[in-house]
Structure 1
Amino acid sequence: MTAIRRPALWRDRRGAVAPMIAALGASLVGAAGFALDAGLYYTANRELRVATEAAALAAAMNPARATARARDALSRNGYNPAILQSVELGQYCPDAALPSAQRFDPGFTRCPGNGRANAVRVRTGKPSRQFLTRVLGSANPIPALAATATAARIDEAGIGISSGILTVTNSLVNSVNDLLGALLGIKLRLSTADVEALMSSNIDAGRFFDALAERVGETGTYSDLTARTAGLRDLLLAAASAADDPATAAALTLVAGQIGGGYPVPLSGLFGLGVWKDMPVGEAGDRPALRAGMNAYQLLTFAVQSGGGAIDASDALSRVVSGTTVSIAAVATGPMDRPRFSFGPAGETSVGTSALRLKLDLGLNLSILGIGVEPVSVLIDIAAARADISAIDCPDTAEQARDTRVSLLASSGLVNAYIGRPPANAMSKPMPPLSADDIAPARILTVLGLINADVRAVAQPVMGNSGTLTFGPGGQGTIGKPGMPGISASIGNGSQLGTLIASLTSSLTASNGLQVTVLNLCIPPLCSVSGTRSALIAAITAPLTGLVGTTADPLLDNLLRALGIQLGHATLWVTGARCGVPVLV
């Protein structure tokens, strides 16, 4: 049978794709056009965003001319200024507690400060460049180009809190050596000239942090550095290298040489770095952002207190006459919840002292019925003082550094005083809270087990004050700089230690002040002063009051100031200020 022969074209499939192309060509061209237009959109949108960010930075430099500066920046980057859709003025809130979207405040209602605009939000928009997708009309998935950028000029200041720079006297120098030496466990030997050099000069904060990072081998960020524990010797030698005054550098080096290699200091309780915290170490010293200072004496005393030294100044006593003494039995501190030195913008920069408790023993030079009187213990509670930067006012003047003003919201601490027997853990560290109900009567006299005298007294609390302190032209203080402290400003109640303790001793004459019992029975008028004042009460209260005024007051005043504390006061220093350059936020 003869095979059927098929034509050659039956086996030739070279044209088989032509129908497929004819059927799918429109889709392929559409996909290619969409890919092209989408690529052009993303490229153009990225370029527009960069130009919008540049416009926002330019506008934030001078918010009063924000629109004109934004248009000029767009024009210089090759865009028609007509693409500028809106320029919105506001305040930037550098508050970590606020979500990022809420830190730009166009209503000036969320941020502290003076209500002046320091931030600008710029919006731009224009049609995207399209080729094939434009034929889709309203169904076109490629949107118009749009960009939004927010920039702020973050102004910063450095602040510190203490009792202030003091008039240096011999008794103050003795207190500094005794108290700080007791903390360190050494015999500290600083002269009057050494203490004066420390108190009268700032060290450069940026250079100090860089030098300390090098000494302890830190190569990360400043946040990593201040999370460490450093030896006090390294800290003081780093400070010496950052001191502009040779006498200050020499005094810091002298103390470092007396300390040796021990005494670790946790840095986190001392410093708050604000917006500097993520900067790599080694970059602070040469940047104007860190051109703030720290007082050399405050750095020394606060670092000593932050370490683990047990505060026992029982040898720091003063004698009026033989047998009559005033001594500090113990000092306790509370936890530090704010740094002593802080650097950053308004709204997130604060400093504070730790709460302090002193136990004072007053030994009386008297005897009653031939029996000596036990020392009378007095406790003084000083609550923490604090301050927050509420505003940094950088004027648009040629002398901006001279005309800048910094405002602090400050509060001094509440002060209480007690005579009696405190709880056993009252002087532990960190110290527990204490109230009048925790003070029990203390026995100061026992005669043959028959006659007993117990004392308990509570002074009315000295209330702290609060208010705004301004540094700069027309303010209560001036702004310092590295190497040179400015003029401090204080807020307080003007209380004196002697007045506070004298009110305690006078309250012993109240019915529940000095209690005298015979055979554990209260026998008037011994246990009550509602009638005739007993000779026993007068024999105890009169010399006690005199001892407070002549000895306890000046002694404790110096000891407190050696620790950087002034009773009932918060003394603030603005150690530097910088009017910033705009940054994207």
Structure 2
Amino acid sequence: MMRLFSSLRHDRSAAVAPMVAALGTVLIGAAGFALDAGLYYVGERNLRAATDAAAMAAAMNPAQAVARARDSLIRNGYDPAILRSVETGRYCADAGLGAAQRFDASMALCPGNGRVNAVRIRTGKPARQYLMRVLGPANPLPDLAASATATRIDEAGVGITSGILTVSNGLVNSVNDLLGALLGIKLRLSTADVEALMTSNIDAGLFFDALAQRVGESGTYGDLTSRTVGLRDLLYAAASAADNASSAATLTLIAGQVGNGYAVPLNGLFGLGVWRKMPVGGADEKPALRAGINAYQLFAFAVQAGNGTIDLSDAVSVVAGGSTVKIAAMASGPMDRPRFSFGPAGETSVGTSALRLQLLIGLGNIAVLGNAVSVDSLPVLIDIAAAQAQVTAIDCPDTAEQARDTRVTVHADTGLVNAYIGTAPANAMTRPMPPITAASIGQARIVNLLSLITVDARAVAQPVMGKSGNLVFGPGGQGSVGRPGAPGSAASIGNGSQAGPLLTSLSSIAAGNGLQVKILGLCLPLVCDATEAAVRTQLLNGITAPLAGLVGGTADPLLDNLLAALGIQLGHATLWATGARCGVPVLV
């Protein structure tokens, strides 16, 4: 027996069998975990892809987000019951926010136009398991879950003036005189130069990036447009983004004439929409909006935004029969809306500044009681309220030719136009321009004949009301949508205001307190009364006729051309849709 035990002690056959028996369960468990873990990660990847697709499908039309998400899941082979939640909200295009924070379900962080433009989808389902399920609560593999957020943003660019850009010799002279006076230089632009600017577009995105590089701005586009920059830097940046060589050459020519000391605050010129909080340098990346800025408007409005003053003391025009019009002063209100704006419908608006003109109308000699009485300075104030417009709809067709078939709707309002004869308040022409009322206009002495006969005048015109309506750019609309290299056609809305007809509506000058004639101590009261009435009648006739001669571009090209040089036409709003982009859903 002892020999038997000794032989067994030295026998090594079948020594692995106990080890296999002992470790078999562990090996089978490890293999099962590897198989189930592999299936888990494959399932998670597939579920995430399907969830991403469902989010992008829902973002195409957030109003039908649930139905579109379910349909997408079904088409990708999933039971729609795996849809755990669908949230709609706003996407905040802010590089300063984390990715998770850019979805704003409350729409309080970045309300914009108050319209939903983003969707967040959450899905979940049990993972496929073969062996891990036997562990029950101790199973280390959780259920599959995925979430995705997608947004779609349609954008348009829009620009505004209150006058249509047309080139004439008179306009070119006004451009050189008026803008040159603001800059403090002798501007020498030819007709070809002005025409090149008026028919050319600046690529807005490339312009902003070039300007940021010139002024050393490395933050966001909002940081850039809140700065004050030198006009020379602005013009050189515009030249680098011009769509043709002629415009680039003209902008470079002007830049060489102006000093960089002429400061231009940008915050009154541009509205940037969703790009405001994005870092500079990305304007040429897809899916950035490709929109243009009219080169002449950019130059003219930048000059007006600066600190130059308009001296029009020598701006005199002969109207009719020895009558003259002298533009004594011009003032503008604050730019509370940008001239060029880019972004989604409902939150992209532009506007002009309110404008006030102070005219001194010399009526020449008027026959009164057989004598010639000179009326050298009849003070007239013309108020033009700001025109404004907002992009209200961007209609993107479900066609391959979206660039051709997209329509942009803009709601525009022209400004009220009013005129006064009389003495304005002392601060009426200061900047920023204070509001005035008819009650604040006082009598102005227009005749003082040897201190024996005096004539005072005061009148308020019947206001020309503004006009309001929709302008459509695109197929079937009043204008076309432009893009860099291909400026679109403008559309206008207006009430036909002209200086002449407006001033002839100053009918209240015929009222009892409109034209006051005083004859001092030379006659009996009854005789004086009759004489004053006769003088008054003759003066009214002598004043009304010259005022009637102040009609638009026929009798007073000076006034029209000066206003046109500033992009102004009484009672009009002219709009350009400078670009449009139909958004594609993207994951954020």
TM-score above 0.5: yes
Question: Which one is further off, 122-131 or 484-493?
Answer: 122-131
Q: Which amino acid aligns with 1:373?
A: V
For 2:338 and 2:135, the matched residues in 1 are separated by: 60
Which residue of the other structure, out of 560, 572, 578, is the alignment partner of 1:575? 578
For 1:478 and 1:85, the matched residues in 2 are separated by: 43
The residue number in structure 2 matching 1:417 is 419
> Does 1:509 find its partner at 2:510?
yes
The residue number in structure 2 matching 1:38 is none
Conserved in 2, the CA contact under 8 Å of 1:94 and 1:347? no
Q: Which amino acid aligns with 1:500?
A: L
C-alpha distance after superposition, 1:246-268 (max 9, x if no partner): 11111111221221222100011
C-alpha distance after superposition, 1:512-552 (max 9, x if no partner): 321111239995356668xx962233233333433567876
For 1:286 and 1:151, the matched residues in 2 are separated by: 19
**What SS does the corresponding residue of 1:387 show, helix, strand or coil?**
strand
Conserved in 1, the CA contact under 8 Å of 2:91 and 2:117? no
For 2:431 and 2:340, the matched residues in 1 are separated by: 22
The residue number in structure 2 matching 1:167 is 166
The residue number in structure 1 matching 2:27 is none
> Does 1:542 find its partner at 2:540?
no
Question: How far has the Cα of 1:148 moved from its partner?
Answer: 5.9
Conserved in 1, the CA contact under 8 Å of 2:519 and 2:532? no
Cα distance, 1:439–1:81 mapped onto 2, change above 3 Å = same
**What SS does the corresponding residue of 1:425 show, helix, strand or coil?**
coil
C-alpha distance after superposition, 1:305-343 (max 9, x if no partner): 100111222222223579642121111111111110001
Cα distance, 1:325–1:533 mapped onto 2, change above 3 Å = closer
Q: Which amino acid aligns with 1:266?
A: P
- In structure 1, runs of 5+ residues without a counterpart are 1-42, 105-109, 137-141
For 1:95 and 1:283, the matched residues in 2 are separated by: 13
**What SS does the corresponding residue of 2:510 show, helix, strand or coil?**
coil
Cα distance, 1:294–1:405 mapped onto 2, change above 3 Å = same
Conserved in 1, the CA contact under 8 Å of 2:339 and 2:350? yes
For 1:73 and 1:218, the matched residues in 2 are separated by: 47
Question: How far has the Cα of 1:100 moved from its partner?
Answer: 3.4
For 1:164 and 1:321, the matched residues in 2 are separated by: 25
For 2:546 and 2:180, the matched residues in 1 are separated by: 31
The residue number in structure 1 matching 2:299 is 300
Q: Which amino acid aligns with 1:542?
A: A
Conserved in 1, the CA contact under 8 Å of 2:327 and 2:357? yes
For 1:93 and 1:457, the matched residues in 2 are separated by: 54
The residue number in structure 1 matching 2:529 is 524
C-alpha distance after superposition, 1:460-517 (max 9, x if no partner): 111111121111111111000112210111122122221111212x442232321111
For 1:375 and 1:324, the matched residues in 2 are separated by: 10
**What SS does the corresponding residue of 1:534 show, helix, strand or coil?**
helix
**What SS does the corresponding residue of 1:290 show, helix, strand or coil?**
coil
**What SS does the corresponding residue of 2:209 show, helix, strand or coil?**
helix
For 2:267 and 2:54, the matched residues in 1 are separated by: 36
Length-normalised TM-score, structure 2: 0.80
Cα distance, 1:475–1:90 mapped onto 2, change above 3 Å = farther
> Does 1:560 find its partner at 2:563?
yes
Would you say how many aligned residue pairs link Structure 1 and Structure 2? 526
The residue number in structure 1 matching 2:451 is 449
For 2:447 and 2:93, the matched residues in 1 are separated by: 57
The residue number in structure 1 matching 2:53 is 55
- State percent identity of aligned pairs: 63
Which residue of the other structure, out of 387, 390, 394, is the alignment partner of 1:388? 390
Conserved in 2, the CA contact under 8 Å of 1:173 and 1:191? yes
Q: Which amino acid aligns with 1:227?
A: S
Alignment of 1:165-564 (within 5 A): 165-320=164-319, 324-366=323-365, 369=371, 371-504=373-506, 506-519=507-520, 524-525=529-530, 534-547=537-550, 553-564=556-567
Conserved in 1, the CA contact under 8 Å of 2:93 and 2:275? no
Cα distance, 1:61–1:563 mapped onto 2, change above 3 Å = same
For 1:549 and 1:472, the matched residues in 2 are separated by: 31
The residue number in structure 2 matching 1:19 is none
**What SS does the corresponding residue of 2:456 show, helix, strand or coil?**
strand
Q: Which amino acid aligns with 2:262?
A: Y
Question: How far has the Cα of 1:55 moved from its partner?
Answer: 3.0
Q: Which amino acid aligns with 1:270?
A: L
Length-normalised TM-score, structure 1: 0.80
C-alpha distance after superposition, 1:345-383 (max 9, x if no partner): 111111111111111111222156455323111111111
For 1:292 and 1:181, the matched residues in 2 are separated by: 29
**What SS does the corresponding residue of 1:358 show, helix, strand or coil?**
strand
- The CA RMSD over aligned residues, in Å, is 3.8
For 1:556 and 1:56, the matched residues in 2 are separated by: 60
Question: How far has the Cα of 1:101 moved from its partner?
Answer: 2.6
Alignment of 1:42-121 (within 5 A): 54-60=52-58, 62-63=60-61, 66-67=68-69, 70-71=72-73, 80-85=78-83, 100-103=104-107, 120=119
For 1:309 and 1:45, the matched residues in 2 are separated by: 67
For 2:87 and 2:246, the matched residues in 1 are separated by: 49
For 1:362 and 1:457, the matched residues in 2 are separated by: 14
